[in-house]
Amino acid sequence: MLKNKNIILGVCGSIAAYKSAFLVRLLVKAGANVKVILTPDGANFITPLTLATLSKNPVYTQYFEEETGVWSNHVELGLWADLIIIAPISANTLAKLSTGICDNLLTAVYLSAKCKVYVAPAMDLDMWKHESTQQNIQRITGFGNTVIAPGSGELASGLVGEGRMAEPEEIVRFLENAIKKSMPLFGKKAMVTAGPTYEAIDPVRFIGNHSSGKMGFAIADELVRLGADVTLVAGPTVNNGVESYKRIDVVSAEEMFKACSAIFETTDITVMCAAVADYRPKFVASQKIKKQDSDFVLELEKTTDILAALGMRKKGNQILVGFALETNDEENYAKGKLEKKNLDLIVLNSLNDKGAGFKSDTNKITIFNKALQKTVFEMKSKTEVAKDICKAILKILK
Ligand code: C5P
């Protein structure tokens, strides 16, 4: 969730600032790019050197670094951030956020930022309970900021009660959950099929095709990126990348049909990208077929059209997306399949377009929706094509 996210960590004057070092470590470990801003008082509790070393970035403490003459651009920093977390936030900085006072770099960056802001308060029991602090909490929450509530326990003053900053692990978990919940496909289950199917002739031979599975992998990745819980049902293919989804491996069309059928009822979005064999040998020899002098005739029977079968079972708001790989009269065939198989979208790729179809890293698609409205796309990488397909899915959900 936090991978490649640009995070500004604000650290205020509180003894809990020692925990900020752990927080930086965890954020960096989770793959985030972290820049730390210390308030002048924060710098009394933890050194910039510690935080710079852990974050692998310079630490900002003021608008203007006297020694170097470098000016820290608060607008640029605010716009760089995908999220801001102020941990610990003191009663003082909380009051500044609530009234718009902007007398140091952190509060200026806060006012300049457009991203989500999280604060983890840390202060003494009575300061936390004070009506003014509680009103400030209400006010900043009203502005759209999120408070990560302090816990109870022994405080630095010796008092026992509420006011301890949430532990760094809790803060990271909180941020990850919040990001997850804000994703457009959070709570949705998706199924994607990819790759070819192999239909056995005998123990050593099969009928297959050249599908690499790349388009399906890219769609599954994009659906995960949008927050869906994704299962990929894959024919015999190798994905050299890191797989971010659940994967069920199958070989034949029949196995793919069974795997898809088993989970279809619970899926919200299904994208059938696999190049499923339309025919399979009627009889599979149990021993290797020996070469003969005469010609050899192989009798084939139809496989189940998985997409059509799922189209018949589709209920309510389930979204079903199919592919059509055509060589002639492309648009009419694609539109025909959309209606016949009860689809919400059909993605057409024509083998007449260079750079489209099997094995390549690019694809050129046209999408038809249920109303038969057509959108033509440029040739793009399969990763970008996957984004276009997922955008069309999101449009249906809106
Ligand atoms: O009718 P046609 O085979 O061209 O349709 C292609 C679409 O149907 C693709 O989405 C493919 O994944 C799916 N399909 C299927 N089961 C089959 C054949 C195709 O799910 N047996």
Bridge partners (DSSP) of residue 375 are: 367
| Protein residue with its CA nearest to atom 2 in ligand 1 | 324
Q: Assess whether the C-beta atom of 389 lies below 6 angstroms from ligand 1.
A: no
Is the N-terminal amide bond of 88 cis, ω within 30° of 0?
Answer: yes
Task: Indicate whether 11 and 36 sit together in one domain.
Answer: yes
Which structure tokens are listed for 210? 């050249």
Task: Determine the Cα angle at 251 with ends 205 and 220, to 5°.
Answer: 140
Task: Indicate whether 243 and 359 sit together in one domain.
Answer: yes
Q: Assess whether the C-beta atom of 278 lies below 6 angstroms from ligand 1.
A: yes
Q: Give the containing element (helix H, strand E) for 102.
A: none
> Measured in angstroms, how far is the CA atom of residue 201 from the centroid of ligand 1?
21
Is 347 among the domain residues? yes
Q: What is the pLDDT of residue 359?
A: 64
Task: Indicate whether 168 and 196 sit together in one domain.
Answer: no
Is 120 among the domain residues? yes
> Measured in angstroms, how far is the CA atom of residue 323 from the centroid of ligand 1?
7
Task: Indicate whether 223 and 151 sit together in one domain.
Answer: no
Is 317 among the domain residues? yes
Q: Assess whether the C-beta atom of 324 lies below 6 angstroms from ligand 1.
A: yes
Q: Where are the alpha helices (DSSP H) in the chain?
A: 18-29, 42-45, 48-55, 74-80, 91-99, 105-112, 125-129, 131-142, 168-181, 214-225, 253-264, 306-313, 330-340, 382-397
Residues 97/136, Cβ–Cβ less than 8 Å: yes
Q: What is the pLDDT of residue 162?
A: 84
Q: Assess whether the C-beta atom of 34 lies below 6 angstroms from ligand 1.
A: no
Dihedral angle of Cα 44, 45, 48, 52, to the nearest 10 degrees:
-170
The boundaries of the domain holding residue 343 are 189-397
> Measured in angstroms, how far is the CA atom of residue 280 from the centroid of ligand 1?
14
Q: Which residue among 302, 307, 313 has the greatest number of ligand 1 atoms within 8 angstroms of its CB, and so is best to mutate?
A: 307
Last residue of a domain, one of 181, 215, 248: 181
Task: Indicate whether 162 and 249 sit together in one domain.
Answer: no
For residue 353, with 0-12 CB atoms within 10 Å meaning exposed, 13-18 middle and 19 or more buried, which class applies? middle
Residue range 86-95, pLDDT digits in tens: 999 999 999 9
- The sign of the torsion formed by the CA atoms of 237, 238, 242, 248 equals positive
DSSP 3-state of 236:
coil
Q: Assess whether the C-beta atom of 322 lies below 6 angstroms from ligand 1.
A: yes
pTM exceeding 0.75 = yes
Q: Which ligand 1 atom minimizes the distance to the CA of 273? A: 12
Which structure tokens are listed for 267? 């899926």
Is 94 among the domain residues? yes
**328 in active site:** no
Q: Assess whether the C-beta atom of 19 lies below 6 angstroms from ligand 1.
A: no
Residue range 147-157, pLDDT digits in tens: 999 988 888 88
Task: Indicate whether 230 and 171 sit together in one domain.
Answer: no
Look-up of token digits 């960056």: 109
Residue range 136-189, pLDDT digits in tens: 999 999 999 999 999 888 888 887 888 899 999 999 999 999 999 999 999 999
Q: What is the pLDDT of residue 64?
A: 75
Task: Indicate whether 260 and 388 sit together in one domain.
Answer: yes
Domain CATH number, residue 315:
3.40.50.10300
> Higher model confidence: residue 325 or residue 388?
388
Q: Which ligand 1 atom minimizes the distance to the CA of 346? A: 10
Q: Assess whether the C-beta atom of 305 lies below 6 angstroms from ligand 1.
A: yes
> Measured in angstroms, how far is the CA atom of residue 321 from the centroid of ligand 1?
10
| Range name among 77-81, 125-129, 348-352, 357-361 with the lowest pLDDT average | 357-361
Task: Indicate whether 269 and 329 sit together in one domain.
Answer: yes
Q: What is the pLDDT of residue 354?
A: 73
Give me the number of domains the chain comprises. Answer: 2
Task: Indicate whether 161 and 50 sit together in one domain.
Answer: yes
Is 284 among the domain residues? yes
How far is the C-alpha of 295 from the C-alpha of 87, rounded, in Å? 78
Residue 305: CB partners within 8 Å, gap ≥ 6?
Answer: 276, 278, 341
Domain CATH number, residue 162:
3.40.50.1950
Q: Assess whether the C-beta atom of 89 lies below 6 angstroms from ligand 1.
A: no
Q: What is the pLDDT of residue 156?
A: 82
Amino acid at 232: L
Last residue of a domain, one of 161, 181, 201: 181
Residue range 207-226, pLDDT digits in tens: 999 999 999 999 999 999 99
> Measured in angstroms, how far is the CA atom of residue 307 from the centroid of ligand 1?
6
Is 1 among the domain residues? no
| Protein residue with its CA nearest to atom 21 in ligand 1 | 305
> Measured in angstroms, how far is the CA atom of residue 224 from the centroid of ligand 1?
23
Q: Which residue among 211, 261, 270, 272 has the greatest number of ligand 1 atoms within 8 angstroms of its CB, and so is best to mutate?
A: 272
Q: Assess whether the C-beta atom of 319 lies below 6 angstroms from ligand 1.
A: no
Q: What percent of the chain has pLDDT over 70?
A: 99
Residue 168: CB partners within 8 Å, gap ≥ 6?
Answer: 19, 20, 22, 23, 25, 26
> Measured in angstroms, how far is the CA atom of residue 196 from the centroid of ligand 1?
11
Q: Which ligand 1 atom minimizes the distance to the CA of 321? A: 10
Q: Assess whether the C-beta atom of 274 lies below 6 angstroms from ligand 1.
A: yes
Amino acid at 358: F
How far is the C-alpha of 237 from the C-alpha of 250, rounded, in Å? 10
Task: Indicate whether 216 and 121 sit together in one domain.
Answer: no
Last residue of a domain, one of 146, 162, 181: 181
Task: Indicate whether 193 and 165 sit together in one domain.
Answer: no
Is 37 among the domain residues? yes
Identified catalytic residue from 6, 209, 342, 369: 209
Q: What are phi and psi of 71, to 5 degrees?
A: -100, 130
Residue range 100-138, pLDDT digits in tens: 999 999 999 999 999 999 999 999 989 999 999 999 999
Task: Indicate whether 267 and 170 sit together in one domain.
Answer: no
Is 202 among the domain residues? yes
> Measured in angstroms, how far is the CA atom of residue 283 from the centroid of ligand 1?
23
